[in-house]
Structure 1
Amino acid sequence: MITVAVPHQRIADALGELGDDARVIVWDPTSGPVPEDERERVTIACIPHLSGGKAVYDRIAECPDLRVIQIPSAGYEHAAPFVPAGKKLANARGVHDSRTAEMALALALASQRRLPQFWDAQSRGTWDADVYAPSLADRRCLVIGYGSIGAALGARLRACEAQVTGVARSARTAPDGTDVRAIDDLPALLPDAEIVFLVTPLTEQTEGLVDADFLAALPDDALVVNVGRGKVVNTEALLGELQAGRLRAALDVTDPEPLPDGHPLFSAPGCIVVPHVAGFALLTDKRYIALVRKQVEAVRHGDDPVNFVMMGAFPA
């Protein structure tokens, strides 16, 4: 019998019946240990947003027959250090593509069309026209991290008639026809980029990628949109360019995160900050429910998990 543990009854209700050989229980490993009568039965453990740490994964490790740990995010660097030995970790790649791409597009449009300026004028009860605020159409856009979220963003940018070039670890032509350049090509690409979208996971290669040299290579008034991970950007280097008025930024993620009250990014000219909300979706969302159902099918057929990202190597 396949036993799927989900952290809330609403998720169990959304999953519904999974077949005669599968059942759903409600267990949130962030709130307490697995029920004793379920300890040896849990096959797939789904954990909620904003959860992690050794205590949570130690509780998961108590389930000897567990095959899959399903996290709700595409990024998994926060989970990787704690995955118990022999347990397979799956991320939620594909679940949040549309939401994250929508926010990236919204941030770019807000910055390009100077919406914060107009909202500020409205709050002061004044008419402050900027009739030549630049359009998103015809802008030369780099999407760094052209995976599933990057492709979702690329589709939306092309619908706005922007020019899109992808960047990934290696050069290729994406299934949607986008020219994807290797990350080593960035020095040649940046001087021509009017808007840079960061959609990368946090890895050794991407941490601090957007440093002073990266930013200096961008043309004046270029926009940096980050919906990936805060540590991809060197905050001090970005602040220098913002405070000089040379570049703009629109950030869903930051370093540090959350930003402490009064942090200079909040008041930096040309900077929009939103509190890491781009990709969050209720775990009753149809995309997440479809993913969990696929995990049940994978276990049923003895396959690796969907979105399998790593095997744990850490003793409980």
Structure 2
Amino acid sequence: MSRPRVLFALRDPALLPDLFDDAALARLRAVADVADRVLVPTGEAGAGGGDGGHGDPDLATADVLVTGWGAPLLDEAFLRRAPRLRAVVHTAGTVKSFVTPAVWDRGVRVSTAAEANARPVAEYTLAMVLLSGKRVLESATAYGRDRTLRGGGPPSPLGNNGLTVGVIGASRTGRQVLGLLAPFDLEPLLYDPLVDSVAARTLGSIAVGLDELLSRSDVVTVHAPSLPETYRMIGARELALMRDATTLVNTARGQLVDTEALTREVVAGRLRAVLDVTDPEPLPRDHPLFEAPGALLTPHVAGSLGNELRRLGASAVGEVERLAAGEDLLHEVLPGQLSTTA
């Protein structure tokens, strides 16, 4: 695909400077003709492909659609208005919400920046694992309350030497978490039904069943995709397997954890929780987790924010460069992968 014509398509054009700095745009324009305007979707996802692009000359001549949050629904109606479209390069994670089977049926290739977006999530997770091992949240709370270094200290374990960390899901994020854990004196366990013991060892972990992971870990961190099979995979029974003072970290999807069951355990003081995602999201303003001493809630900040968005743009530019050079995509999404990925 020599010198493709590129069209940006996302609901908020103001995000473009955050995703693409001048250097990234220069790289893009060196290999592609970039439309001067952004295609802003006007319909809701699932509403028959409303996209503001009916009769749009930029869409009609686009070879590559660079999408972002709020991308148009790419159904048959949309594709009819984009007869030259050959690739969709997404500057975010999942493509499930807007890419339909019609895209692959037409032979359009799809790429995602999910690998780049996984990096800040993995970094957040590493920070929370290490802080949980040191019981920083409990220590800070007790110090602020008592204003003394003596008494009322946090429960053991206190420290990260030999801490057992259970990673649920060898997803893009889960694998990056394992890589970031490698330099530390930790014992990583991995539960993923699609990863055998040999593959787990190459990831620097030990493959175990879910029940064993929950019962052995000091910190459990969730990185499985949100699928019908994983809905509330951490429920009351699974939480009961966890030892007292274990911390559950969830940066994946709130639906993977039974919020009511977790709330009971945390409010009772038996378990700790670090939650960047919840179910529902956000929680009601008067939800007890907001005030529970053993809980830390953050408003979905683990993913790419601020200058981290530049990684997403750089990933997309790299994919367009590969398309222009006739090379394979580095982050291609195939339809068969959707049943096991986020």
**Band the TM-score falls in, shorter-chain normalisation:** 0.7 to 0.9
Q: CA deviation at 1:66?
A: 2.1
TM-score w.r.t. the length of structure 2 is 0.76
Counterpart residue number, 1:70: 89
Counterpart residue number, 1:179: 205
Rounded to whole Å, the distance in 2 between the matches of 1:180 and 1:196 is 14
Structure 1 residues 134-153: aligned runs within 5 Å: 134-153=158-177
The 3 A distance-change label for structure 1 pair 240 and 261 is same
Counterpart residue number, 1:100: 121
Query: What SS is found at the alignment partner of 2:33?
Result: strand
TM-score w.r.t. the length of structure 1 is 0.81
Rounded to whole Å, the distance in 2 between the matches of 1:123 and 1:59 is 57
Question: Which range moved further: 173-182 or 192-201?
Answer: 173-182
Question: Which range moved further: 7-16 or 54-63?
Answer: 54-63
Query: What SS is found at the alignment partner of 1:309?
Result: coil
Q: CA deviation at 1:191?
A: 1.5
The 3 A distance-change label for structure 1 pair 20 and 249 is closer
Rounded to whole Å, the distance in 2 between the matches of 1:83 and 1:257 is 31
User: Which structure shows the bigger proportion of residues in helix conformation?
Assistant: 2
Counterpart residue number, 2:7: 5
The 3 A distance-change label for structure 1 pair 253 and 207 is same
Q: CA deviation at 1:166?
A: 2.2
Determine which of 214, 219, 222 is the counterpart of 2:238. 214
Rounded to whole Å, the distance in 2 between the matches of 1:294 and 1:55 is 22
Q: CA deviation at 1:255?
A: 0.9
Gap runs ≥5 in structure 2: 43-50, 337-342
Count residues with an aligned counterpart: 309
Rounded to whole Å, the distance in 1 between the matches of 2:171 and 2:16 is 32
Question: Which range moved further: 268-277 or 60-69?
Answer: 60-69
Rounded to whole Å, the distance in 2 between the matches of 1:74 and 1:102 is 16
Determine which of 289, 309, 314 is the counterpart of 2:333. 309
Counterpart residue number, 1:112: 133
Counterpart residue number, 1:170: 195
Gap runs ≥5 in structure 1: none
CA shift digits 1:43-63 (9 cap, x unpaired)? 2222333x2575999767732
Rounded to whole Å, the distance in 1 between the matches of 2:73 and 2:249 is 32
| Alpha carbons 1:15, 1:289 under 8 Å: kept | no
Rounded to whole Å, the distance in 1 between the matches of 2:28 and 2:204 is 38
Q: CA deviation at 1:311?
A: 4.8
Q: Does 1:204 align with 2:228?
A: yes
